Amino acid sequence: MLNRPRCGSVLDHTMRLEKGVEGSINWRQDEQGHELHGSQFWLKVLKEEGNTTKGSGLEERGLSKDLDAVSRLYVKYPMAKYALELIKAQKTLMQLVGADWLRSNKREDDLAGRPGSIVQKYAEWSRPEFFFVVNLQLPGATRYNLALYYMLRTPLKDTPLLESFVNGDDAFRNSRFKLIPYISQGSWIVKQSVGKKACLVGQALETNYFRGKNYLELGIDAGSSTVARGVVNLVVGYLNNMVTEMAFLIQANTQEELPEVLLGTCRFNHLDASKAVLVQP
């Protein structure tokens, strides 16, 4: 598996991973380890009244897909000194430090809790870093798992909304975790099927949460929805010819929870299903 670290610094480990998955899963980071390819992703922030963008202004900036959500929040705070605006994301909260591309005859859950994973290695070393793992579980005769391991270097309490999500119940989590897809290269039919609209994953797909001492893993079962299953079956057939970007964030529903921040992003560059690693019993 790709996420097994050897001894050495986090930076060394990240560089080895980047080289190891070249051509499959790529990310670009600044000197602090923040991903930089969030150019297609927009976040909600508060701006002083008189310095906001509303209505047609959002459409002019290509953000019409978010108008409904923005309008609801404007209604919620009609007398506030601050109004809502969408800004382009510049960096992420967490660093992508590992990825698993797996195949199995069954759904694979709680990968972060398995011996030998990067998460368990850090736990053995009593390291303070916290891991947020997104485990995308793809249906089919052969089950594929794409697991992304994001690491938070700062204390969890320094990001209250994320802390509430990590320690909250499943109902809260299902109402807040958002995925934003973007197909930057692929056939027209795939782009139309996947779309660009942000999705509250837990309200559309069965999502199981696994909480460990130093991690939270989200197991997202794409086979739990008939519509999603059809889209996934289509996409898997085109993976070799696709470049796909995804961003993850916790949706802010109140003024106190703003501004939103991207948890992490990832780009899948011509992912090859034949190179998925077989999970050993």
For 174-219, what is each residue's pLDDT tens digit? Answer: 999 999 888 888 778 777 777 777 889 999 999 999 999 999 999 9
Higher pLDDT, 89 or 158: 158
For residue 224, the SS3 value is: helix
Using the structure block, give the residue that is written with the tokens 């404007």. 74
Q: Tens digit of pLDDT for each residue in 18-30?
A: 333 333 344 444 4
Tokens representing 214 are 């130093």
Structure tokens at 5: 């670290």
Query: Please, what is the Cα angle at 73 between 70 and 74, to 5 degrees?
Result: 85
pTM: 0.72
* 226, 213 Cβ separation under 8 angstroms: no
Q: What is the pLDDT of residues 92-112, one digit of tens each?
A: 889 888 889 999 999 999 999
Residue 252 has pLDDT above 50, yes or no: yes
Query: Residue 236 in contact with residue 144, Cβ under 8 Å?
Result: yes
Q: Residue 267: what pLDDT?
A: 84
Mean per-residue pLDDT of the chain: 72
Residue position matching structure tokens 């993976």? 239
Q: Is there a contact between 91 and 262 (Cβ–Cβ < 8 Å)?
A: yes
> In sequence order, what DSSP letters do the residues of 135-150 get, joined into one string?
EEEE-SSSEEEEEEEE
Taking 70 as the threshold, does the pLDDT of residue 148 lie above it? yes
- The answer, yes or no, to whether residue 54 has pLDDT greater than 90, is no
List pLDDT tens digits, range 34-51: 443 444 444 444 444 433
